[in-house]
Amino acid sequence: MAKKIVVIPGDGIGEEITASAVRVLQRIDEKFRIGMVFEKHDAGGTAYDLYGTPLPQETIDAARVSDGVLFGAVGGDKWDAVAPALRPERAILGLRKNLGLYANLRPVKVADALTEYSPLKPELVRGVDLVIVRELIGGIYFGEKCESEMQDGHERAWDLENYSVPEVERISKLAFETARLRRGRVTSVDKANVLATSRLWRRTVTKVAAGYNDVELNHLYVDNCAMQLAVRPTQFDVIVTGNLFGDILSDEAAVIGGSIGMMPSASIGANTSLYEPIHGSAPDIAGKGIANPIGTILSAAMLLRYSLHEDEAAKAVEDACDKALTDGYRTADLWKDGFTKANTTEMTEIIIKRI
């Protein structure tokens, strides 16, 4: 049976980088006979220009019945004057809601060839290979809120943080299942010394862990975790945490790799999942053929692993990217004297030849 992959390029460099990832997936299909078919749809500012909405219903409907969604990036100063409800960024929020994407997986793996690009010392980042599993549709971002009210003669605002046991169980199980595919260690991050929601979080994660005797669990407060990511990031395998803490920690961890152009991500849903690089649409370099496609190509590898359950194929993509970097090829964001500069298309073909 064919595997339907919906491709949503979005705006800016999205067209170029998703085209690169599709080329890589087509090569993988030739080698592993997975049976992927690709269907392109619009979202973001591009969709707004065509249809007057950043997320057409046709795109939502196609994504819902797909085996996986490959997403580029949305946004750009061209749409700065558009009403907030119609901004390009609403497309990704709408997809998360309509597809029930409850978890974000953010891997951070530093290739040996790129340790010098990290702001941390090479000896600290060599061997870093971790995944942050962030709860995506709960917590303080989705709780009740008040922009402004008067109390005792003073203006105040508030946001409500809350989590239910089923929400924590669902994200915890995903973290433990992810750890089983890796090195079997989960670090749960909370602020249980202060927050009631974190105490429920910790109790629930601990109960879920009882069903995963082959996975080691430990707990860290979020402030300590932030420090440990900077001083000894190699200690981590899988980090699981709530929406707010995950948002902050995943951005901190992304810096460890030295270039956001290298970083993939996955947003996991019950029926389908969405895969995208963590960087933006970079309209200043769109159409110039100099964007780094590796973050999107590695996102495609995650699609192979988590949606199509083709782990060998995913590893073939990841190994090919590592080999291209080890062989000295660099896109403009990473290029230095002594390396071979490659544009978007050239880097894509270099990776394809190594599969």
Q: Which residues contact 79 (CB under 8 A, 6 or more apart)?
A: 45, 48, 87, 88
Catalytic residues: 141, 191, 223, 247, 251
Would you tell me how many other CB atoms lie within 10 Å of the CB of residue 312? 11
E strand or H helix that includes residue 351: helix 344-353
Q: Between the CA of residue 47 and those of 71, 276, 282, 307, 311, what are the distances in Å?
A: 14, 18, 17, 26, 33
Helix and strand totals (H; E) in the chain = 12, 14
Task: Retrieve residue 89's tokens.
Answer: 């960024």
Local structure of residue 310 (DSSP, 8 states): -
Would you tell me how many other CB atoms lie within 10 Å of the CB of residue 168? 25
β-bridge partners, 8: 71
Task: Retrieve residue 109's tokens.
Answer: 């793996």
E strand or H helix that includes residue 200: helix 196-209
Q: Which residues contact 8 (CB under 8 A, 6 or more apart)?
A: 14, 18, 40, 41, 42, 43, 59, 63, 69, 70, 71, 72
Give the integer Cα–Cα distance in Å for 20 and 291: 10
